[in-house]
Amino acid sequence: MNQRLTTNVPEDVMELLRELEPSISYSLRETKKQDREDLKQEMIVKMLEKREQIGYSDAPGFWEFIKRKTDSC
């Protein structure tokens, strides 16, 4: 993976990207060989941008979610 692209990425996200790398590569099998690396990097950039938009840190943990649900009833 491109070191410059992933310099400030948390380790859990890096692990996810490593796990998704075979799927990304497989999805690019129909593209021209000279375009694959560029497209792969673009896909990773888009995933990182989407992750920032979603804001995983705002999601409650399991027990916090259950507590909120039981308190609202």
Position 57 scores a pLDDT of 63
46, two tokens: 């888009």
Distance CA 38, CA 25 (A): 12
Position 48 scores a pLDDT of 82
The list of the chain residues with pLDDT below 50 reads: none
Four-CA torsion 21, 22, 26, 32, nearest 10 degrees: 50
